[in-house]
Structure 1
């Protein structure tokens, strides 16, 4: 695990400030006054103390790969681990080249799926040139660490009338591979829907129309839901999602369940994880979550949380447990 030295931290602060100033579709709360969480040495769940937001976890053999939103001069960051708790950040950019129809500077929320042995597909959020919206692109590689190469000459999902699309993830059902995402409606006073559509076997094309699953309708969700994570469990499905403003304490992780991917979905009335969890002294704005199981069988929720000064988002691993189809926090 690497720790940022003072010069490194100043650089991260500058990057965070620039991101807050240019993130056109999401309001920022980075100036929000908030109680600081416990000092770093008292936070037992921080596993990568770097700018490493929106982590996606993929296991290949005995190695776990974590992919994160752009930072540290990379479009897509990558780290590896053998146990989900000790991570090494790689020097290479997993997506080193962007095509001319993507505006650089906002490559967010990566999701990597192994569609066949040795065949990896990366779904990423980027800023489309025309229309100028955040949309979902797709890239491929034969190594989980990359480099990934963008496929095609346009975005995979880019609904102009819905404000674009961001935060792709995948889930396998009995019928095959499916893409799950959020339309970026909060950029333009529209509802935000978590949506899904079936994918081709190679993961490179949608093969059916989108279906809407949930939208923002609870007070603590603010004006958006995003960052979906769907898992099949005990004959049904569990959806974890992030909500509200990513830039401060109001960002939360919500939970919903359904008997089938298309629904009907029932939300839990309260957040699954928030800045108020654990007495309010551990996290600031937890979100961008994924689930993974360690070699010893322990399930972890991996996600980002702001540092005490709200200048960068590091990766955390919070132990959780399944009780049938119910997921719960286990620590404190």
Structure 2
């Protein structure tokens, strides 16, 4: 990589099956920041050279998706999944009740991603509270409430602007405040959440407390669990038996390690990617890699996403190809094994001490991605108990595509073993895309309602609006039935 007067110049390593020359220049026009990418394909003297110049709005997911879609037309690289002409959606629909399709407060930016529901008895009245993801919005984690699960009103924020935890990174396209859950333990209301450490930029789990569900909340001065962890879930048996669930966010790790491996060993590309379009995609991405590896976490994901998609479309086969490659190229065997390790995203459970922040006993792995529909990740878990069984609902696959959906695993014991359903429980339909991150409410009549988020069709992507939906569940000892229309 060369930097000349703020112009970054990149070149594909020579042993790659395809080659590119890329220059990147920052562009500020009318107070909007963008980058001008000039890309030329190396042809080794055969055929006409192709060169294009494209202005991409900086740090926007959909801008990058559109950019890579245009490149696919010019260079024959892979089309982003979000931009492919979709096959027919399965001819069925779920009996959703649409709860909210607009922000309830002008300071909310992105809707109701990762919704977590809870019931609180206040002065003899049942009130339902729901908190949700806020990404990089100045006000973190909106709190809304309802007395009847139909009419909702905005209350406040867990962290109003200026009151975020000192340890957490803040700022547009820098902060990632994700997946809050509020739970009552005794007389205390606890919110477990995800944010980035402002120094390491790794995702960590935090805790904030209040004496009332509408706050004010005070955050612990340090994270509970540091580095590469997301999606905390609390299961409260009683005040003395409280358990924390979380997952390792390895799906952010292996793409970086794969890109680094292919950049240093580009001759491996044809072995791992049989399709010519995927080979060209891999060559393009490793050309970007010396620049992309130093980007903020989410923008780095935007650049790597089409490489990730090339892997997860044949995820099981790709794992087997990596194992074969490790046997053939023993000099990089350890690095390949590391990639294989991080292609699993395990979920854990561990008991919490009375202070709500100290983990005690041993952590237990309860689930990981091992089914084709889950591809490279499982996340966003919620456990509910019914009669003598525990039901663990979770999301799998890529959050920004219509492959994302909800699964369920059932156990007779909180710490497992959990047996997964063979198929997705809830998936995309013609009406709603990428349903995910469920939470479950036990109703007064003994029923169960699931609250989840979903995108409007064709509108999936990071920091895009997610609506709040509700669906009725019927729990059985060996399966879960979902109301379908």
Normalized against structure 1, the TM-score is what? Answer: 0.81
Distance (Å, rounded) in 2 between the aligned partners of 1:283 and 1:64: 24
Show CA shifts across 1:66-104 (max 9, x none).
1000166421011111222332233x2222222332102
Match of 2:246 among 178, 181, 197: 181
Closer/same/farther in 2, CA of residues 44 and 193 from structure 1, 3 Å limit: closer
Name 2:97's counterpart in structure 1.
45
Name 1:101's counterpart in structure 2.
167
Q: How far did 1:157 drift?
A: 1.2
Distance (Å, rounded) in 2 between the aligned partners of 1:135 and 1:110: 12
Closer/same/farther in 2, CA of residues 47 and 211 from structure 1, 3 Å limit: same
Distance (Å, rounded) in 2 between the aligned partners of 1:222 and 1:138: 30
Closer/same/farther in 2, CA of residues 20 and 142 from structure 1, 3 Å limit: farther
Closer/same/farther in 2, CA of residues 58 and 221 from structure 1, 3 Å limit: same
Show CA shifts across 1:38-58 (max 9, x none).
xxxx98521011311100001
Q: Is the 1:107–1:125 contact (alpha carbons within 8 Å) kept by the matching residues of 2?
A: yes
Distance (Å, rounded) in 2 between the aligned partners of 1:295 and 1:69: 27
Tell whether 2:285 aligns with 1:220: no
Q: Is the 1:304–1:313 contact (alpha carbons within 8 Å) kept by the matching residues of 2?
A: yes
Name 1:111's counterpart in structure 2.
181
Closer/same/farther in 2, CA of residues 218 and 63 from structure 1, 3 Å limit: same
Q: How far did 1:230 drift?
A: 1.0
Distance (Å, rounded) in 2 between the aligned partners of 1:260 and 1:294: 23
In proportion to residue count, which structure has more helix? 2
Distance (Å, rounded) in 1 between the aligned partners of 2:198 and 2:409: 34
Name 2:272's counterpart in structure 1.
none
Distance (Å, rounded) in 2 between the aligned partners of 1:43 and 1:324: 22
Distance (Å, rounded) in 2 between the aligned partners of 1:109 and 1:20: 22
Distance (Å, rounded) in 2 between the aligned partners of 1:36 and 1:304: 22
Name 1:75's counterpart in structure 2.
140
| Structure number with larger C-alpha Rg | 2
Q: How far did 1:168 drift?
A: 0.5
- SS of the equivalent of 1:208 reads strand
- SS of the equivalent of 2:176 reads strand
Closer/same/farther in 2, CA of residues 181 and 44 from structure 1, 3 Å limit: closer
Name 1:120's counterpart in structure 2.
189
Decide which moves more: 71-80 or 129-138: 71-80
Q: How far did 1:173 drift?
A: 3.9
Distance (Å, rounded) in 2 between the aligned partners of 1:273 and 1:59: 24
Distance (Å, rounded) in 2 between the aligned partners of 1:145 and 1:31: 41
Q: Is the 1:56–1:66 contact (alpha carbons within 8 Å) kept by the matching residues of 2?
A: yes
The alignment covers a number of residue pairs equal to 296
Report the RMSD for the aligned CA atoms in angstroms.
Answer: 2.5
Tell whether 2:201 aligns with 1:132: yes
Name 2:114's counterpart in structure 1.
54
Q: How far did 1:207 drift?
A: 1.6
- SS of the equivalent of 1:93 reads strand
Q: Which runs of 5+ in 1 are unaligned?
A: 1-16, 23-27
Closer/same/farther in 2, CA of residues 263 and 324 from structure 1, 3 Å limit: closer
Q: Which runs of 5+ in 2 are unaligned?
A: 1-58, 65-79, 103-110, 255-341
Q: Is the 2:189–2:212 contact (alpha carbons within 8 Å) kept by the matching residues of 1?
A: yes
Distance (Å, rounded) in 2 between the aligned partners of 1:312 and 1:296: 32
Match of 2:438 among 289, 299, 303: 289
Q: Is the 1:246–1:285 contact (alpha carbons within 8 Å) kept by the matching residues of 2?
A: yes
Q: Is the 1:226–1:243 contact (alpha carbons within 8 Å) kept by the matching residues of 2?
A: yes
Q: Is the 2:181–2:191 contact (alpha carbons within 8 Å) kept by the matching residues of 1?
A: yes
- Structural mapping, 1:8-19, within 5 Å: 18=60
Q: How far did 1:35 drift?
A: 7.8
